């Protein structure tokens, strides 16, 4: 491979802001794997946000890139999986699997798509120092003939339309809007763009915690919500605490610690077979490898309010933010019914925007 921009390249990033800033280019915030695609003839490499290659996990996209992309190019974008008109991040996670046979099966069962939103190189020319306005025009022209599963991300400079997208696109699984200065060159690794994400709150049961890597203080709280069958489901974690607060939390929660899992609503998670069925607090993750994911069970008697931005199925998509304890709420009142559900919006309409 011999391109004017060579892998690895750290993607340009965005910093969070509370409102959509004026005077920029706006795009939906895609909920997938950030990927920079390098194509030089038959040679294709898919670089991840961390610089590690994703190529082996998406063989169907490698084939599509050879067919749909210009012969020599570097394109920044997002790998997504679409089913029933929505993005499906959980199914995307399944692709990070060590067995090539499993990857091939999933590639056939739930094929991925690629949404391009920036062009870093074309032919012999690097576009890194060109302003976004020039790169965007070049991207649209370069991908004009591309077909499914390669798409060009919708973009606009209309602030009102961006506000509409912010509301509508969430129903298709997108989790906000990204704003990009039009005169900005591409700066790998820098947070020079802006992201506006949805903000909501929920009251959750605290049913356990993981200890911090530094010692016997709280690293993250394990959160639960009751489903319609009365089962407490693990929905995510909140983990951003100052060290002094971690020590305080360990003291506050000490009276709720149990000697074991007997009688705990998550007792089945101690069973290896049960862990294999889903994303559970004690289960090993493809992303964390051998990281210690053991946890301290608590009697599920305390409720806290957390801030979250997006749901993925029955779980919070990202780590949530602790707001406050809610002594006025009973654990049994913390159900999925309190969560705001976005109005459904077909992803095909987003890609056709």
pLDDT confidence of 343, banded at 50, 70, 90? low
pLDDT at 88: 87
Instruction: Based on DSSP, count helices (H) and strands (E) in the chain, helices before strands.
Output: 8, 19
Q: Compute the half-sphere exposure of residue 205: CA atoms within 13 Å on the CB side of its CA.
A: 25
3-state secondary structure of 44: strand
Portions of the chain given CATH number 2.40.50.140: 200-338
pLDDT confidence of 284, banded at 50, 70, 90? very low
Smallest Cα–Cα separation from 174: which of 320, 347, 336, 14? 347
Phi-psi region of 280 (alpha: psi -120 to 50; beta: other; left: phi over 0): beta
Q: Compute the half-sphere exposure of residue 246: CA atoms within 13 Å on the CB side of its CA.
A: 18
Do 251 and 239 meet the contact criterion of CB atoms below 8 Å apart?
no
CATH number of 13-197: 3.30.470.30
* Tens-place pLDDT, residues 285-312: 443 444 445 899 999 999 999 988 878 7
pLDDT at 87: 87
| pTM, entire model | 0.73
- What are 264's two structure tokens? 């705990």
DSSP label of 340: -
Residue 280 has pLDDT above 60, yes or no: no
Tell whether the torsion through CA atoms of 116, 130, 43 and 146 is positive or negative. Answer: positive
Report the pLDDT averaged over residues 163-184: 90
pLDDT confidence of 276, banded at 50, 70, 90? very low
Report the pLDDT averaged over residues 81-104: 90
pLDDT at 342: 67
- What are 104's two structure tokens? 């091939």
Of the options 2.40.50.140, 2.60.120.10, 2.130.10.30, 2.60.40.10, the CATH number for the domain spanning 200-338: 2.40.50.140
Q: Which helix (H) or strand (E) holds 273?
A: helix 272-275
Q: Report DSSP letters for 75-130, one per residue.
A: EEEEEEEEETTEE-HHHHHTT--S-HHHHHHHHHHS-EEEEEEEEEEETTEE-TTS
Portions of the chain given CATH number 3.30.470.30: 13-197
Q: Compute the half-sphere exposure of residue 295: CA atoms within 13 Å on the CB side of its CA.
A: 25
Active-site residues, by number, are 29
Q: Which backbone phi and psi does 121 adopt, to 5 degrees?
A: -160, 150
pLDDT at 144: 96
């Amino acid at each position: 491979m011999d391109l004017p921009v060579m892998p690895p390249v750290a993607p340009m990033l965005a910093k969070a802001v509370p409102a959509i800033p004026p005077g920029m280019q706006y795009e939906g915030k895609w909920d997938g794997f950030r990927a920079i695609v390098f194509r030089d003839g038959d040679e294709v490499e898919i670089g991840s946000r961390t610089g590690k290659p994703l190529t082996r996990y998406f063989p169907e996209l490698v084939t599509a890139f050879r067919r749909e992309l210009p012969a020599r190019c570097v394109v920044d974008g997002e790998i997504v999986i679409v089913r029933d008109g929505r993005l499906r991040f959980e199914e995307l996670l399944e692709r990070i699997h060590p067995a090539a046979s499993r990857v091939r099966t999933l590639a056939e069962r739930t094929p991925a798509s690629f949404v391009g939103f920036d062009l870093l190189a074309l032919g012999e020319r690097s576009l890194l120092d060109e302003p976004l306005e020039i790169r965007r025009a070049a991207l649209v022209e370069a991908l004009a003939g591309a077909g499914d599963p390669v798409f060009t991300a919708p973009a606009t400079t209309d602030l009102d339309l961006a506000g509409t997208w912010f509301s509508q696109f969430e129903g298709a699984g997108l989790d906000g809007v990204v704003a990009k200065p039009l005169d900005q060159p591409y700066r790998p690794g820098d947070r020079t763009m802006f992201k506006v994400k949805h903000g909501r709150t929920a009251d959750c049961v605290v049913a356990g915690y993981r200890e911090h890597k530094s010692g016997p203080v709280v690293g993250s709280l394990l959160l639960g919500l009751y489903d319609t069958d009365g089962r407490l489901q693990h929905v995510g974690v909140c983990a951003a605490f100052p060290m002094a607060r971690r020590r305080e939390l360990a003291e506050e929660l000490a009276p709720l610690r149990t000697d074991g899992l007997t009688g705990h609503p998550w007792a089945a998670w101690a069973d290896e077979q049960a862990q294999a069925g889903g994303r559970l607090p004690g289960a090993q993750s493809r992303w964390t490898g051998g990281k210690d994911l053991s946890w301290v069970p608590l009697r599920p008697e305390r409720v806290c309010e957390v801030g979250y931005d997006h749901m993925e199925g029955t779980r919070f998509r990202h780590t949530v933010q602790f707001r406050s304890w809610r002594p006025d709420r009973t654990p049994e009142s913390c159900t999925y019914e309190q969560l705001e559900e976005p109005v459904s919006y077909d992803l095909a309409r987003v890609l056709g925007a």
